[in-house]
Structure 1
Amino acid sequence: MAKDASFDVVSQVDVQEVDNAFQQAVREVAQRYDLKDSGAKLEFAKAERTITISAPAEFVARQVTDILSAKFVKRGVDLKSVSWDAPAAASGGTVRVVGHIVEGIDQPTAKKISKDVRDLKLKVKVVIEADKLRVTSASKDALQEVIQFLRGQDYGRPLQFINYR
């Protein structure tokens, strides 16, 4: 009997790359002429996995968010992995925007992915394990078809395929 092949579908973020992009954005905000003395501040809490932008106006906060997004793209961090809250008023007439780093696949998304893979009518088995999915099949070609299908879909978060055996 042949051993089944499998792979895991996960949504992971390299926190070190996020930190590197954050540090580059802080330097750019401090050096850019239009933002240098604007009072815009960036904070990154690794433990809570949040990025906080404090700015004197919503326009400045959007500019800083754009700078940070550009740095994420250059560092290979998917923009879907950061969920931004709506700008909120803070003390002193400033605006605060909080971004949350999203990791793992939540239960509703995992169920939707599982249902979509089952609807392909391939001989694969999908098991939801906490914040990842394991796809198993006797045919490696079927697994490749599932990977190609999932790459073409948008589930609102970046998906990676690991442990392919």
Structure 2
Amino acid sequence: MPSFDVVSKIDLAELDNAVNQAKKELSTRYDFQGAQADIVLAPDQTSLTVKANSEDRVQAAKEVLLARLAKRGISLHALEYGTVEKTGLHNVKQPIKLQQGIPVEKSKELIKLLKDSKLKVQASIQSDQLRVTGKNRDDLQEVIALFRREQDRLKLDMQFTNFRD
């Protein structure tokens, strides 16, 4: 029976490259001269922190980071933004969580979407991914098209892997 997996993963090497490029741009840009703007990638690579000495600079640094991520092919749907927090000495930071894997709630939404579409496929949640099986390849391709249409509404970065006939 044909099947495929729906996963949500970030290429960590590309993420590291994008963060390094953004840091380099922040260090050379004129409007950031004298500002302590920095982007920190957590050691376990599950989150980022954008730090600066004002909220405006945090927003500008975040825009530089987002541009670099998009240029490197990392979907911006895979980012969850935290609230802007004040730290000591008039500094401000904003945490950004990186989504690795599909959360169970989103998997349930995808399964509900499949059931509402009346396609003859079955879906099963397997830890942080979703496996979709069907009788023929055409149904699975319709499922992929459906998920791609709904990707923006669900705010979920999805890749389709492990397609088997």
Gaps of 5+ in 1: none
Q: Which of these residues, 19, 28, 31, is aligned with residue 31 of structure 1?
A: 28
What is the aligned counterpart of 1:68 among 25, 46, 65?
A: 65
Provide the secondary structure at the position in 1 that maps to 2:89: helix
- Alignment of structure 1 residues 110-121 onto 2, 5 Å: 110-121=107-118
- Alpha-carbon offset, residue 46 of structure 1: 3.5
2:53 is matched with 56
The residue number in structure 1 matching 2:127 is 130
Report whether the alignment pairs 1:45 with 2:45: no
Give the corresponding residue for 1:103: 100
Which residue of the partner structure matches residue 162 of structure 2? 163
| Alpha-carbon offset, residue 48 of structure 1 | 4.9
The two structures, once aligned, show a CA RMSD in angstroms of 1.0
Q: Using structure 2 for the length normalisation, give the TM-score.
A: 0.95
Q: Matches of 1:143 and 1:163 in 2, distance apart?
A: 12
Deviation digits for residues 3-45 of structure 1 (CA, Å, limit 9, x no counterpart): x000001111111111100000000000001103211122111
Question: What amino acid sits opposite 1:60 in the alignment?
Answer: R
- The Cα of 1:155 is off from its aligned counterpart by 1.6
Between Structure 1 and Structure 2, how many residues are aligned? 162
Paired residue type of 1:54: K
CA contact (8 A) 2:6 2:131 kept: yes
Normalising by structure 1, what TM-score? 0.95
- Runs of 4+ that moved beyond 4 A: none
1:140 alignment counterpart: 137
